[in-house]
Amino acid sequence: MSGDNINNYSGFGSIATAAKKIEGGKFLTFYLGNEEYGIQILKVQEIIGIMEITPVPRTPDFIKGVINLRGHIIPVIYLRSKFGMPEIENTEQTCIIVVKTRNLIMGLIVDRVCEVSDIPTNDIDEAPSFGTFVNTEYILGIGKFANKVKLLLDIDKVITAQEYAGMSKIVENIN
């Protein structure tokens, strides 16, 4: 096998071609604690300051409630809770990123927004597998930018289909 190209070896061919490339582009980056995340800018509707959130009974802990944004009722997700991080007090940098996912507009509470980064396709790696104990389905990829690593989220998969259906029902019942 010495001197052979690994892609030509039938035992490795499927591995070498299985890796999918994640499309580069502009990502809004934000922090939860010391970890930097990014979401595709095309999913972002706007960024607003933290505002009064009306709790909705019998919802998962990560659903903080709903807000009235210019006449539209929007469910608000506390990403720290969704990702198993401890809750912290809001600061002047805490904000809500309003995103459109599937057919639902929702808010994401983050510690602070950082910037819009243009990350080329070549600087995005596929999410590593951490085994069966860690769900990485919602990670679009790992972006390498300015000597940092950013977890790029697939915002459509951060919320499961069942959670999405529940949030849609909440909005439907309130409207």
- In angstroms, the Cα distances linking 72 to 20, 69, 114, 145, 171 are 38, 5, 26, 36, 9
pLDDT of residue 168: 79
CATH number at 132 reads 2.40.50.180
Sheet with strand 95-101: strands edge to edge: 44-49, 95-101, 104-110, 72-78, 63-69
pLDDT, one tens digit per residue, over 79-134 is 999 999 999 999 999 999 999 988 889 999 999 999 999 999 999 998 877 655 55
pLDDT, one tens digit per residue, over 25-80 is 999 999 999 999 999 999 999 999 999 999 998 888 999 999 999 999 999 999 99
Over 70: is that where the pLDDT of 18 sits? no
| Residue 137, in any domain of the structure | yes
Q: What is the span of the domain harbouring residue 78? A: 24-174
| Residue 110, in any domain of the structure | yes
pLDDT, one tens digit per residue, over 104-113 is 899 999 999 9
